[in-house]
Amino acid sequence: MNSPRISTWGGSLFLACLLLAGSGCQWLKARDEMNKGVQAFKVQRYQLAVDHFKVAVESDPSLVNARLYLATAYASLFDPNSGAEENLQKAELAIQEFQNVLQVDANNIGSVSGIASLYFLMKRMDQAKEFYLKHIQLEPTNPEPYYSVAVINWTQTYQARMIVKARTRTPADAPITNVQEREALAERNTPLIDEGMQLLNKAIELRQEYDDAMAYLNLLYREKADLAATPAERDELLNAANSWFDKAQEAKKIKTERALKQSSATGG
């Protein structure tokens, strides 16, 4: 009777393991599991991908790409809109795997940006900012981490301002008339606003039609306007905010028109 034909990768792996003892077989198993994980990830079967990548890492702990894939698969399972403990655990597992990669490759941009994004989605802004700033150091010509830090700064200044306005019963669109409250808020928020503006200007320098960065410059000018000591200063800052809002709208319009032309040219 003829022996059955071994035509699958699994069968090939089995034969290879008969020929390779110990670590060689584990090396092959790790790559086989990583390939299976990638295939599962491509069809959005993230839990199955996690299972394969975990086996790959266990089989070959030095396989950095498997750790990156495992971290990314965990991150894909995380729902930023859910505060459930089980859901947050997925984000923590993703961060831990990204950290494991950084222990081997301290300058791995994928891990640094992955951790920053997860902390941001978890609303752990100080930790997110730390990793976005590291991303800037590693990739200074990428405008996006500059933008991300500025968004964090705006978020923190906006939240602080809304607390003061609620405490002083000041309408959202009105200036803070309590001098003591306004000056204390200015002392806290001004460094964050100025840093955010500097970072957004750098982002726009690197990407000239960065409409999102322009929109946040508008928002930061509005934060600064609420700290103004005089009506004239407030009006000047609001005019600057309006100017950046208009620039953002114009940049968005230009990008949309360009995309439509490209789509028409390619028959899309």
- So what's the pLDDT on residue 19? 47
- Cα dihedral 66/68/74/75 (nearest 10): -160
- So what's the pLDDT on residue 102? 97
Distance separating alpha carbons of residues 148 and 143, to the nearest angstrom: 9
Dump the DSSP string for 236-247.
Answer: HHHHHHHHHHHH
Architecture of domain 26-124: Alpha Horseshoe (1.25)
Tokens of residue 139, six digits: 């990739």
Per domain, the residue ranges of the chain are 26-124, 141-256
pTM, to two decimals? 0.86
Query: At what angle are helices 64-77 and 23-42 packed, to 10 degrees?
Result: 30
Q: What is the DSSP letter of 4?
A: P
3-state SS of 12-59 is HHHHHHHHCCCHHHHHHHHHHHHHHHHHHHHCCCHHHHHHHHHHHHHH
Cβ proximity of 217 and 152 under 8 Å: no
* Rounded (to 5) percent helix, strand, coil in the chain: 80, 0, 20
Residues constituting the chain: 268
Cβ proximity of 196 and 215 under 8 Å: no
Encode the chain (268 residues) as per-residue pLDDT tens digits: 333 333 333 444 444 444 444 455 878 888 999 999 999 999 999 999 999 999 999 999 989 999 999 999 999 999 999 999 999 999 999 999 999 999 999 999 999 999 999 999 999 999 999 999 999 999 999 999 999 999 999 999 999 999 999 999 999 889 999 999 999 999 999 999 999 999 999 999 999 999 999 999 999 999 999 999 999 999 999 999 999 999 999 999 999 999 888 877 776 5
Question: What's the gap between Cα 137 and its chain centre?
Answer: 16
Cβ proximity of 188 and 160 under 8 Å: yes
